[in-house]
Structure 1
């Protein structure tokens, strides 16, 4: 799935509103182009006494109403027209910002919910391999990056294209020579923006990965603060975080350096282009080839033409960053969800007796690795208590995790009450098993809510009874 298809899949029902935002951009651009034409009309015809010379058939339209004689007597009307046109243009700009922001927020909400839902359904084996801090960074910073691009930069990209499409015909209708001079640097600026985009995308990827690692270090240190203090490892953890922060700072510094080079050099190119247009326009005006009003219009239009193209570099930069973020999000969303499978349906009120049999069971985390467990034969009767001893890393926890199907054994069979474990639906068999985890975890909720987490709808009496049996009450 391409990045575009990925975005469109979360834009259902929002496309019309987004198209309205783009239409608002076009209207705002249209009205922004009218202001220089009013200035040209005022300078050349009202003050200079020349005939009206405007594009789009405006000349004939204004001549029908004796516009020039009216403005000569009421010059203030020209000022009111400029203010009114500016107000209408900015109103459409406001509408564009509102609509695009609403679409971006809803897009981010859908993506965030979809990502969280997908993570909840991924296999335990996947969670055991990934870094929690990196996942948090993807679910927060990466989604925000895509949201900002959707809400601002993508719309600005449309604005730049519309500005170029509308302004060049106007400029050509005023003066072909001045237009050619005005667009000399445009191909160079655009090519420069594309080259810059390719360079900065790689640096954005490195910075995002470094930020994810720094978040992981922070998350691990805070969650394991009791262990850190118990073993007096504060200095080690501080140094570990500082190293991660220094790496992130260094990668961000390289990224910002590239950005600074681009903005400075592109500013120089744009200013050279504007200076060239102004100098050539003054020469053309002195020789009588263009009017003073046309020169004023061109000095405005060349800015409208150049700065959006210069902004293409920033837009392409943010697009590259958004593509990187989309790629990181898709790495999660493309990971296959855990299959519940199983066809041995258990009634709601059914409780397993607890007879467990391991028959020649072997397990390896990956197919190309040596098995952690090899040819295990074990039988546990209902109600029987069994202790498994072994050194660290011997596979004790892994052996237990096979029973609720957190991992899939590589070979052999495991039976619960005589039924092959793989015939059970994962969710159903897990509801039948109670596990005291090696590393207990409490949610940021009340003790009562933590106790009742595995039994939604549990009564107060049930929760109190469970806490009494666990010697908590």
Structure 2
């Protein structure tokens, strides 16, 4: 945790917080001594002038203490909030640069918890550190010295009360700290179940699994609640225990002090000041114990945040990246490409070979789990290959910068993702400076122009999160339009026609062929339907990660058994 804070806190602000706290504690420590003198020299002797003088001095010290406390709170609060802000920014930036492997490893629900709850834990503890952790040791030492100066004989009471207090604190911490550490994992679980419930609410309703999901969430929620109740119940014992020990300490001080006063060995004012210093000493122990209870929870949160920030990228740019030359005609080639997921025994793709040039369309066909989406994910380097080479214009894409590679590729993934805003703002993702004319052209090619025109706001029509206010087919067409508006050399459509009817699918493919830009680019279409791939220049047939067919429709229809099996499963004999 201190590693996280050290790099992101202003040393001057921390010094300012410490300085203000020292001033506050100094003022607090002077008040009991002035009170003692007021009783001994003013009240006992009837010296009214001394009482007024001492009272004025106490008011002045109290005012300085309040101002110093305000300064400390200001620096502590602002630095804690800035630390949280910087951590959230760094986490978000880091996650944006993660490859698919890192996302799979850490999980989106856990990343959300780390960015929100874990950062909040560190913020809260940082405020405590800049206040209590500075205040408690100074007050403890200062009050101890002042108490000893005030009356040496009464300090013997602490030989009993302090060990008892320490024993109580250590016992509570022993049981509470592991509970606080486990709370973070239980928050992860709640986030996971709640997020799945929100994203899959339609599926849950369709299968009447409301009660099952409610029980599932109840179980996760109860697990967190039970642990939190145990942890905070133990911590809540600390304050009443401390008050009890303080009261017994005061009884011991009054008993001993009363005997000393009776024998004229001590003045009444000294007894009053000593009791105040005793309370400061015991409260200092309590503040330290509170910090030591909450620091492990923040430390657990810091470990989880550091795990994200220290995660090495699985896909790394080379030190001297090659630029892609600007040409009219481009080539894309896979040479003996193999790929397997991390820690997997079996390869997902084996010995994939094909070559494309600008103006050609490649269709990738195969059964579920054959490796179609994995193959196209290798092009923008969402994953890196295990062996072989992928060449663009003869250059190995692994020797180029990821950002340069992704500039020449426009990708529509399986799941159409739209962002909250408007249709216009979503299209700006593809081309930030796109004109209205370019937007309408992209929508026309994507077969989305008609339904967008019917909307009262047109391009400025609202888009809910994930495009919830549009149908599946409309979302796909808007996602396709966003990809088409981007000027790219390679267009990839990863099963992004699946929600379209046959007529719209056919019109879209015809429009892609007729469009001046896409007709001169490399187009890769991942599909499940034979009707979608028949017009492609080249069809690659995959079966369990192996290329079992490569050719056009007529060639594969005549001589490829796997392709013919897919055809027979989808079409009638007369249609074939």
Q: Does 1:346 align with 2:324?
A: yes
Write out aligned runs for 1:222-241 (5 A): 222-241=198-217
**TM-score normalised by L of structure 1:** 0.87
Give the superposition deviation at 1:149: 1.5
* CA–CA separation in structure 2 for the residues paired with 1:183 and 1:93: 32
Question: Deviation digits for residues 197-253 of structure 1, max 9, x if unmatched?
Answer: 454332222111110221122223223334444444444333332222122212212
SS in 2 for 1:185: helix
Q: 1:359 to 1:163 in 2, by over 3 A?
A: same
Aligned to 1:4: 2
Q: 1:4 to 1:352 in 2, by over 3 A?
A: farther
SS in 1 for 2:364: coil
* CA–CA separation in structure 2 for the residues paired with 1:183 and 1:32: 24
* CA–CA separation in structure 1 for the residues paired with 2:150 and 2:328: 86
* CA–CA separation in structure 1 for the residues paired with 2:417 and 2:193: 19
Of 320, 325, 329, the match for 2:305? 329
Give the superposition deviation at 1:139: 0.7
- Bigger shift: 205-214 or 193-202? 193-202
| Structure 1 unmatched ranges of 5 or more | 50-68
Of 34, 38, 42, the match for 2:38? 42
8 Å Cα contact 1:24-1:92 kept in structure 2:
yes
Q: Does 1:27 align with 2:23?
A: yes
SS in 1 for 2:384: coil
* CA–CA separation in structure 1 for the residues paired with 2:73 and 2:399: 54
SS in 1 for 2:217: helix
8 Å Cα contact 1:104-1:151 kept in structure 2:
yes
Q: 1:151 to 1:369 in 2, by over 3 A?
A: same
Give the superposition deviation at 1:361: 2.0
Aligned to 1:281: 257
Of 145, 150, 153, the match for 1:169? 145
8 Å Cα contact 2:17-2:130 kept in structure 1:
no
Q: 1:335 to 1:308 in 2, by over 3 A?
A: same
- Bigger shift: 229-238 or 113-122? 229-238
Q: 1:352 to 1:37 in 2, by over 3 A?
A: farther
Write out aligned runs for 1:29-178 (5 A): 29-49=25-45, 71-73=47-49, 75-178=51-154
8 Å Cα contact 2:390-2:397 kept in structure 1:
yes
8 Å Cα contact 1:201-1:324 kept in structure 2:
no
Relative CO higher for 1 or 2, CA cutoff 8 Å, sep ≥ 6? 1
Give the superposition deviation at 1:294: 0.6
* CA–CA separation in structure 2 for the residues paired with 1:351 and 1:180: 92
Q: Does 1:211 align with 2:187?
A: yes
Q: 1:466 to 1:75 in 2, by over 3 A?
A: same
Question: Deviation digits for residues 74-126 of structure 1, max 9, x if unmatched?
Answer: 64444333333222211211111112112222222222222221221222211
Give the superposition deviation at 1:127: 1.2
**TM-score normalised by L of structure 2:** 0.72
* CA–CA separation in structure 1 for the residues paired with 2:202 and 2:405: 34
Q: 1:258 to 1:300 in 2, by over 3 A?
A: same
* CA–CA separation in structure 1 for the residues paired with 2:131 and 2:29: 19
| Structure 2 unmatched ranges of 5 or more | 450-576
Give the superposition deviation at 1:383: 3.7
8 Å Cα contact 1:361-1:413 kept in structure 2:
yes
* CA–CA separation in structure 1 for the residues paired with 2:223 and 2:50: 66
* CA–CA separation in structure 1 for the residues paired with 2:404 and 2:70: 53
* CA–CA separation in structure 2 for the residues paired with 1:9 and 1:352: 49
8 Å Cα contact 1:361-1:377 kept in structure 2:
yes
Of 339, 344, 349, the match for 1:373? 349
For the pair shown, the structure with the greater C-alpha radius of gyration is 2
Q: 1:9 to 1:191 in 2, by over 3 A?
A: farther
SS in 2 for 1:168: helix
8 Å Cα contact 1:194-1:316 kept in structure 2:
no
The structure with more strand, counted as a fraction of residues: 2
* CA–CA separation in structure 1 for the residues paired with 2:255 and 2:329: 90
* CA–CA separation in structure 2 for the residues paired with 1:221 and 1:455: 34
Give the superposition deviation at 1:414: 2.3
Superposed CA RMSD: 2.4
* CA–CA separation in structure 2 for the residues paired with 1:83 and 1:431: 68
Q: Does 1:303 align with 2:279?
A: yes
Give the superposition deviation at 1:160: 0.6
Q: 1:191 to 1:336 in 2, by over 3 A?
A: farther
* CA–CA separation in structure 2 for the residues paired with 1:233 and 1:357: 47
